[in-house]
Chains A and B, each alone.
Chain A
């Protein structure tokens, strides 16, 4: 049973644009109510028939792979199925046709939804207050690190450093650096935080320690309470990267683990679709000691009506215009409401079950470093393939030929030839068994097939070095380059 992706010849939408003069051409007097000297003299955009535009994008979509096409075991990305009702409700006029600056009395429904979503996230995260403003996970981190800064400054302290393990997502150090912190990466021990190393690393200069639990290897950091103690004893804060929250809902919570700040990825844990890169949403929750610093406005409820409170003198200000990605919040709200408390816990249980199931079946074929038990994801090493002259990259590419998205590869960096698999809870045993079977078959295949993979996708391997060298980022640049050659 092989997969074949559609291969359409789809010209770039600008192709042939100049040759076929647009209907009416370019009339520089359009917009004549404006002074002539402000008007542009050309604009090379195509005029197309609606029928052709629909054909163009429909054919392009068929050369794209989403969760709806098949298993998407991309580790750390929680590519679970997105219930269709969540997409439908955001097409309602009561969601689409409201403006963020409307009088609060005219958006009571929207404010109520956000207020309730904040409360639900408080319960799930074990925190006291939540802001929905951040637009993505990394943006949540950025917000959280500003909260760290504000917290220490309010105490009259300047702390210069953020500490994090070497298994941390790349966004963690990048977010810390953007807020002006030095970043100290701590080598892991047996795949977990090295508690002794952490003890000697923290000091009065440490502003916060960033951690995801389970960590990016899928291992639960069981020393988390001791870690929290070490961090807090140094006067620093503990930050929870919520990318892996799908493993623990209802079992424990960041708050219960003594984290002070946590971001949620609504587009991971709460099933909002990722849109090929976004939009997502990255709400941030905090313990009460930090809530005065949250961005403005906060939504408040007096028992009768919802209103906006912007007069919060300790607030860090704003991380994004208006309220955040509202349409994403509505989807997450709908998802949480449909799951309920028990449903969310079951989601985590099944995510962990599915992950361990695949791990058990594959650990004999590839290497599983650092102990056995995993949470919602696990990392294998593709090292055993090396003797056949095959790399993890080849293994991932070959999976595409069978209609699976590749796992996350070469991350975390502490595992040689890392293959990070996260099946999520929404896949059936049948799907998992088939995936396992295919993985085993690929490992046994002729290495040349792996190195030549993929062959059943719209394109074969790309010359990525050429893309970096040529730097063609637009049709305009392509035409310029072509003209230069001619």
Chain B
């Protein structure tokens, strides 16, 4: 590698002849002698090659996609992208120096404020990696709050989340026990829940709407049944524009994913885990918190606070190992909510319900299909049962350029021929028509 004039000058000033002298402490026996990677590309070459490579991806903008299952396709106003791509936000590190980082800190405080309002929880941290890891952390936190060595999780939870929660629980020697859902409503089976509340159970996690679509209608009964055990509720924050918030139903911890607020699907990453709790539990909480304070001149200011919970101070005694989180997505969520406003958000959420209503009734009207499978209120996601195997339905749709819902029977064998469909404000009447045309041809 030829050195630049400046590099040579720097070496000369240091009394060295080559950069190699700076690696004199790396023993010969462990030298690799370079990297076996192709030569570098120009920006133009990269753009061409990457463009070609990625062009084989079939996008939701090119053809209708009815997948949800935790990642949703929502509209993103141009103003959101514009403000969030400000490089002062994008290229900053964690705001360790608050005096020079007020922009990020105030934006994160605003994110926390938006989430606290939507969920009606006292405290929401400034993000976890995604909802699945938020659940993992919630299992650990429930254990810190209520003690015990077991934790209950509703069966109507995504297999991805269950897998992640299982891993987090395993690390802490906590046993996860599943609670059944009612076969007709898809809601938490209260009698099964009661029967599983044995000694050592620290808490229970359920969702509303749950993974299979139903909105839980008996949260207060669940709260009562749990007694002083920790109640962890999973939400779709978009649905909270309309629905009674978990904070009003006695939740101790609330988790969810704020990807729906301004972040594209991006093949499922990055996402942004919401993590909120009651103020009593704040010192047991994982993740960064932004607090309000004042500066020397008495001006309102923001900084990271209660850091004694965190790894860089407490090391092995920290409440979590999390350091890097999803800060920029939190700013995105705040900017999204600011742009759409309360009225806009409620209209968007209502449009989701309307599309769900319309699509379920149209699918349900086709012979050989039932939608929604569960007798319960839904938001924008629901189970479709078909006379034909779900995998065949999937293939038939794919052949006609439609990405159908998620085939359930692998993870939920009891839902034979079941598929999980999502529809958002992004679907037009024509998108629904295209799906219906195929379904009708199949009957």
Contact = CB atoms under 8 A, between A and B. Distances in A.
Interface in A222-244: 222, 224-225
A457 to B, nearest CB: 4
A64 B97 CA distance: 10
B430 interface: no
B242 A30 contact: yes
Among B37, B264, B310, B313: residue with most chain A CB under 10 A: B37
A12 B109 contact: yes
A301 interface: no
A62 B88 contact: yes
A154 interface: no
Nearest to A255: B32
A265 B211 CA distance: 32
A252 B26 contact: yes
A174 B343 contact: no
B293 A93 contact: no
A262 interface: no
Contacts of A350: 7
B83 A38 contact: no
Contact of B97 (A102, A137, A406): A406
A205 to B, nearest CB: 16
A60 B240 contact: no
Nearest to B55: A94
A250 interface: yes
A402 to B, nearest CB: 11
B172 interface: yes
Interface string A405-427: 11010010000000000000000
B229 to A, nearest CB: 22
Interface string A69-81: 1001010010100
Contacts of B25: 219-220, 222, 373
A464 interface: yes
Contacts of A102: 58, 65, 67, 403
B439 interface: no
Given A138-B311, A319-B164, A99 B267 contact: yes
A251 B32 contact: yes
Question: Number of contact residues on A: which range applies?
Answer: 35 or more
24 contacts: A44-B342, A48-B339, A57-B83, A57-B86, A63-B102, A65-B88, A65-B101, A66-B88, A106-B58, A170-B310, A170-B323, A173-B315, A178-B140, A222-B26, A257-B30, A267-B324, A274-B91, A321-B70, A321-B158, A327-B267, A334-B50, A337-B41, A406-B97, A476-B117
B179 interface: no
Contacts, number: 638
Interface string B32-47: 1111111111110011
Interface stretch (B181-189, B193-201, B298-306, B363-371): B298-306
B71 A136 contact: no
A200 interface: no
Contact of B57 (A13, A94, A460, A467): A94
Interface in A113-155: 113, 120, 123-124, 126, 135-139, 141-142, 146, 149
Given A340-B37, A458-B99, A68 B93 contact: no
A303 interface: no
Interface string B309-347: 011111111101111111111010011011101111111
Contacts of B441: none
Given A58-B83, A123-B35, A38 B243 contact: yes
A41 to B, nearest CB: 8
A16 interface: no
Nearest to A13: B110
A61 B100 CA distance: 11
B343 A60 contact: no
B29 interface: yes
Given A12-B113, A74-B93, A277-B326, 10 more contacts: A40-B248, A54-B79, A256-B31, A328-B269, A344-B37, A350-B7, A360-B14, A468-B305, A474-B122, A478-B292
A360 B22 CA distance: 12
A279 B270 contact: yes
Contacts of A123: 35-37
A170 B311 contact: yes
Interface string A173-211: 111111110010100000000000000000000000000
A19 interface: no
Contacts of A339: 40
A22 interface: yes
B315 A85 contact: no
A408 B81 CA distance: 31
B103 A108 contact: no
A293 B69 CA distance: 26
A454 B341 contact: no
B270 A135 contact: yes
A59 B110 CA distance: 14
Given A40-B244, A170-B313, A61 B103 contact: yes
B106 A12 contact: yes
A378 to B, nearest CB: 12
Interface in B65-112: 65, 67, 69-71, 73, 77, 79, 81-104, 106-110, 112
A324 B314 CA distance: 27
A100 interface: yes
B138 interface: no
A277 B53 contact: no
Interface stretch (B128-136, B144-152, B381-389): B128-136
Contacts of A276: 89-90, 92-95, 101, 104, 108, 327-328, 331
A326 B266 contact: yes
Given A33-B354, A178-B172, A428-B6, A38 B244 contact: yes
B51 interface: yes
A43 B117 contact: yes
B267 A322 contact: yes
A107 B350 contact: no
A73 B289 CA distance: 24
B59 A97 contact: yes
B211 to A, nearest CB: 12
Given A93-B59, A474-B116, A82 B293 contact: no
Counting chain B CB atoms within 10 Å of each CB, the highest count among A37, A93, A318 belongs to A318
B433 interface: no
Given A43-B342, A135-B129, A328 B270 contact: yes
A64 B167 contact: no
Interface in A241-290: 248-253, 256-257, 267, 273-280, 282
A17 B10 CA distance: 57
A250 B33 CA distance: 6
Interface stretch (A351-359, A381-389, A437-445): A351-359
Contacts of B98: 459, 462, 464
Contacts of B251: none
A101 interface: yes
A95 B269 CA distance: 10
B412 to A, nearest CB: 14
A149 B170 CA distance: 10
B241 interface: yes
